Amino acid sequence: MTGVIKGTGASVPSRILENKELENLVETSGAWIQERTGIERRHIAVRETTVSMAAEAAAEALKEAELQPEQIDMILVSTMSPEEIMPCTACQVQREIKASRAVCFDLSAACSGFVMAYVTACAYIEAGIFQNILVIGSECLSDVTDWSDRGTCILFGDGAGAVVLTAAEEPGYLPSIYSDGSKGEALTLKSRQNHNPFGKEAPGESQGTSYYIEMDGQAIFKFAVRSIPQAIEEVLQKNHLHKGDIQYYVLHQANERIVEAVAKRLGEPAYKFPMNMKEYGNTSSASIPLLLHEMKEKNMLKSGDRLVLAGFGGGLTWGTAIITWK
Ligand code: UT7
C-alpha cells in the first residue's frame, strides 16, 4: 500500500516582477540574473497570502481527485513563510476549504519541505492510518526577502502547489532523505523573538532590525550539486531501479545551472530535467508541486511514468523520493 497522486493544483500571484524591475532596487542587471540563474521573472504577492494560495491550489487538486473536502483525512503544509506561526497554515487552509475532518499541521524543512511532506504523507498512508492526504507547498517569500540584498532578492518568488495523495494497493518506494544541522548557518531565516525577563537578549530588535533570508550562495550551490546526484543514485539503488527506469527528475527550482550540473553528474540527458524557474524564480517548497502541476497540464506525464522528486535547502536538508504517475 502507498499513496498515489490523484490530483494536482497550483496558485501564483497575478503580479509579475520582471528582472528589469530589480535593476531599480539593487545593483544588478536583468541579463546577469538570467545568465547566472535562468530566472527571467517571478510572481509576487500583492493581495495573495500563503494561506490563500495554498487554499486555491488545494481546491484545484481536490477537484481533479474528485474528492469532497470532508473526505480529506490530513492536510500537511510545507512553508517557511507562514502568515502566522499559530494557528499553523494547514489549519487555516482547513478553515478555507472546509476540510472539517482533516488533522492539520505544518512542516518546516525549507526548500526540501515538499519532498519531506510527501514522504511523511506516504508513511501515514503506508501505516494504514489515513487514506486521503493533501500535501501542499506554499510560500510568500517576498515577505521574508531583504529587498536590498542582491545576493538573494533576485532569486525568490511566491506561489503554491498541492497534490492529493490517495491510498492504493501498490508497493511504495523507499525515500532517501537527509539533514546536516552543522552546516545550517549557510542559509538562514531567523525568527523575531521578544526578550524574556530572565536575561535573554532580543536578537535584532535591540538594533532595530528584522530578519530575512540570508544565504552563502556559493556554499549552497556546491552543496546542491554534490548532494543531489548522490541522493538520486542512492534512492535508485535502494529501490533496485536504474536511471533508464526514470522518465523525469523533478528538482527544486533554485538555479538552472544547479539542475544542469546535476544532470551532467548523473550522465542523464537534459530533457529529463524539466525547469520552470524562468517564470517563477525560486519558490522554495512550492517549486516541486508547481512544476509537477505544470508538467501534468502540458501532458508530459503518462500513466506508469516513474519520476524522482529532489529537494535541497536550509537546515541543511535534502532528499529524494520516487513516484509512479497515476
Ligand atoms: O533554494 C535553495 C537555496 N538557494 C540556492 O540554491 C541558491 C544557490 N546559489 C546560487 O544560485 C548562486 O550562488 C547565486 C545565483 C546566488 C549567485 O551566483 P554565483 O554565480 O554563485 O555568483 P557569485 O556569488 O560567485 O558572484 C559572482 C560575481 C561577484 O562579483 P565579482 O566578485 O566577481 O566582481 C558578485 O559580486 O557576481 C556578483 N554578483 C552580482 N552581480 C549582479 C552577485 N550577485 C549579483 C547580482 N547582480 N544580483
Mutate to test the pocket of ligand 1, among 36, 78, 144, 146 (most ligand atoms within 8 A of CB): 36
| 28 CB within 6 A, ligand 1 | yes
Q: Check if the beta carbon of residue 74 is closer than 8 Å to that of residue 133.
A: yes
Q: Which atom in ligand 1 lies closest to the alpha carbon of residue 287?
A: 1
Instruction: Give residue 26's pLDDT band: very low, low, confident or very high (50, 70, 90).
Output: very high
Task: Give the residue whose CA is nearest to atom 48 of ligand 1.
Answer: 150
Which of 110, 135, 168 is the endpoint of a domain? 168
What's the pLDDT at 204?
57
User: Total domain count for the chain?
Assistant: 3
Neighbours of 143 (CB within 10 A): 15
* 236 alpha carbon – ligand 1 mean position (Å): 32
* 257 alpha carbon – ligand 1 mean position (Å): 12
CATH number at residue 290: 3.40.47.10
Digit-coded pLDDT (tens) for 231-276: 999 999 999 999 999 999 999 999 999 999 999 999 999 999 999 9
Residue 119 reports pLDDT greater than 90: yes
| 218 CB within 6 A, ligand 1 | yes
27-36, 194-203, 234-243, range with the lowest pLDDT: 194-203
| 141 CB within 6 A, ligand 1 | no
Instruction: Give residue 202's pLDDT band: very low, low, confident or very high (50, 70, 90).
Output: low
Instruction: Give residue 197's pLDDT band: very low, low, confident or very high (50, 70, 90).
Output: confident
The C-alpha cell that represents 102 in the structure block: 482533516
Instruction: Give residue 210's pLDDT band: very low, low, confident or very high (50, 70, 90).
Output: confident
Digit-coded pLDDT (tens) for 184-195: 999 999 876 666
Residue 209 reports pLDDT greater than 90: no
Task: Give the residue whose CA is nearest to atom 29 of ligand 1.
Answer: 151
- pTM over the 0.75 mark: yes
What's the pLDDT at 268?
98
Whether 30 and 160 map to the same domain: the answer is yes
| 254 CB within 6 A, ligand 1 | yes
Whether 121 and 265 map to the same domain: the answer is no
DSSP H/E element including 312? strand 306-313
Whether 44 and 160 map to the same domain: the answer is yes
Whether 155 and 266 map to the same domain: the answer is no
What distance in Å separates the CA atoms of residue 279 and residue 288, rounded to the nearest whole number? 14
* 25 alpha carbon – ligand 1 mean position (Å): 16
Any bridge partners for residue 310, and if so which? 251, 320
Whether 209 and 120 map to the same domain: the answer is no
Which of 138, 168, 198 is the endpoint of a domain? 168
Whether 23 and 161 map to the same domain: the answer is yes
Which range of residues forms the domain containing residue 114?
Answer: 2-168
What's the pLDDT at 223?
98
Whether 138 and 219 map to the same domain: the answer is no
Decide if 122 is catalytic: no
Which of 135, 168, 201 is the endpoint of a domain? 168
Task: Give the residue whose CA is nearest to atom 23 of ligand 1.
Answer: 218
Whether 114 and 239 map to the same domain: the answer is no
Mutate to test the pocket of ligand 1, among 221, 228, 316 (most ligand atoms within 8 A of CB): 221
Whether 277 and 198 map to the same domain: the answer is no
Q: Find, among 56, 105, 111, 116, the residue nearest to 81 by Cα.
A: 111
Q: Provide the H-helix boundaries in 190-244.
A: 217-238
Residue 91 reports pLDDT greater than 90: yes
Task: Give the residue whose CA is nearest to atom 20 of ligand 1.
Answer: 36
Whether 196 and 277 map to the same domain: the answer is no
Q: Average pLDDT, stretch 293-307?
A: 97
Whether 224 and 297 map to the same domain: the answer is yes
Percent of the chain with pLDDT over 70: 96
Of 207 and 169, the one with more pLDDT: 169
Task: Give the residue whose CA is nearest to atom 41 of ligand 1.
Answer: 28
Decide if 111 is catalytic: yes
Whether 43 and 109 map to the same domain: the answer is yes
* 151 alpha carbon – ligand 1 mean position (Å): 6
Question: 3-class SS at 258?
Answer: helix
Using CB atoms within 10 A of its CB, is residue 10 exposed (0-12), middle (13-18) or buried (19+)? Answer: buried
**Residue 314 vs residues 27, 280, 289: alpha-carbon distances, Å:** 26, 19, 18
Angle at 311 between CA 309 and CA 313, to 5 degrees: 180
What's the pLDDT at 203?
61
Residue 198 reports pLDDT greater than 70: yes
Digit-coded pLDDT (tens) for 48-68: 999 999 999 999 999 999 999
Percent of the chain with pLDDT over 90: 93
What's the pLDDT at 196?
72
